[in-house]
Amino acid sequence: MRNARGIVLILVLWVMMVLTVLAAELARSMRIEGLTTDVYQQDVATYYLATAGLHRALYTILRAQQQGQNALTAGGAFGQQRFGAFGGGQSTGAPGQQEEEEVDVWVRGDGRWKKEEFGEGGYWVRVLDEGGKINLNAVDEGYLRQTFANLKFDMEFSQLIVDTIQDWRDSDSLVRLHGAENDYYLALPIPYPAKDGFFHTPEELLLVRGITPALFYGREGPALRELFTVYSGGGNGVNLLTASPLVLQAATGMDPQMIPELIQRRNEARGANLGSLFSAGAGGGAVNFGLPQIVTIESIGYRNDGDITRRVAAVVQKLGVNSFRFLRWQDRVEGGESLPQSEG
């Protein structure tokens, strides 16, 4: 009898232990599912906040365009039409002052970030003129080498990048001194052939020998994604009216410490005597002062109660006063950059 009771006790203990383990595992699974649901909810919410910011900027650009307002418009013209923020945002400051500033930020297309609150979060938005970048498919070899020299790249490394870019986009299979063709790419752990054709997206640079994600996204030095484009016309050179500080340094070879003051003077000039702000022939490449025709709108959505953000982007081509078309849409833009800082 005692042996039977002992066996029953052992069985009960085993059953209790199994039930405890199952209960703990069930609790852990429910907790993981709850956290997953919360993360998914935040991701969806920030995605739509980012999308709202993108369409907000596009709407403002179209409204300004319909009224004949652009980056060369005389001061004060932007304030003649009030563009209220989505979600009933209230204007502050002098009448027309905030509207003039926000339309200028988005219509000019020089990549300045603007932040707006919307609902339980908000978005950061910037508009970049693709003409204010260097066209990968149109830039010649000499200008490409000078670009990396102006950015103070190591000479040997810049020679490698220039030659590999040249080999990637040309139509032949000849290998330049520091370049790479099929023999190199097909020997990689995940092989692929050399394209031997024009770049279709800037991200194709990540396939080129020597260009790492850290270099492309700017985690180690200048970000190549901010420097190059495939969407501008290319033949007329870099648009200095909208070029970012990085592109200005690359295209003109200017001292980086002088560029912030130059940009401030450029913004104040509003098209008047812009050519006099830049040294004649600086950089040795073609430049122009034109209005943006193809822009990238990049938007980052965020919630006030979470750390998750979502970044979307669209390349938009203007097709007249009332129309446009999307050349590219990115539901999720990678890069790992932190939220931008206010540019007051």
**Per-residue DSSP letter, 77:** G
pLDDT class of 326 with cuts at 50, 70, 90 = very high
The pTM of the full predicted model, rounded to 2 decimals, is 0.79
Domain of 257 in residue numbering reads as 1-85+96-151+222-344
Residue 131 lies in a domain: yes
Cα(212)–Cα(208) distance, integer angstroms: 9
Distance CA(289)–CA(237), nearest Å, equals 10
The pair of three-digit structure tokens given for residue 215, joined into one six-digit string: 């270099």
**Domain for residue 6, yes or no?**
yes
| 258, part of any domain | yes
Mean pLDDT on 270-274: 58
**171 within domain boundaries:** no
Backbone angles phi, psi at 163, to 5 degrees: -65, -40
The answer as to whether 182 is a domain residue is: no
d(CA 282, CA 298): 30
Query: Cα–Cα distance between 325 and 294 in angstroms, integer?
Result: 10
Predicted confidence at residue 93, as pLDDT, reads: 42
Residue 188 confidence (pLDDT)? 95
Say how many C-beta atoms besides its own lie within 10 A of residue 203's C-beta.
Answer: 14
Is 160 inside a domain boundary?
no
Confidence check: pLDDT of 283 > 60: no
Could you give the C-alpha distances from 275 to 110, 193, 241, 259, 270, in angstroms and in order? 17, 44, 9, 15, 12
The pLDDT-based confidence of 190 (bands split at 50, 70, 90) is: very high
As for how many domains the chain has, the answer is 1
Q: Does residue 327 belong to any structural domain of this protein?
A: yes
Which residue, chain included where needed, has tokens 């994600």?
Answer: 213
User: Tens digits of per-residue pLDDT, 31-42?
Assistant: 887 777 788 888
pLDDT in tens, 156-189: 999 999 999 999 999 998 999 999 999 999 999 9
Q: pLDDT by residue (tens digit) across 193-222?
A: 999 999 999 999 999 999 999 999 988 788
What is the separation of C-alpha 94 from the centre of its chain, rounded to a whole number of angstroms?
32
Q: 25 in a domain, yes or no?
A: yes
* The two three-digit tokens of residue 70, written as one number: 């652009």
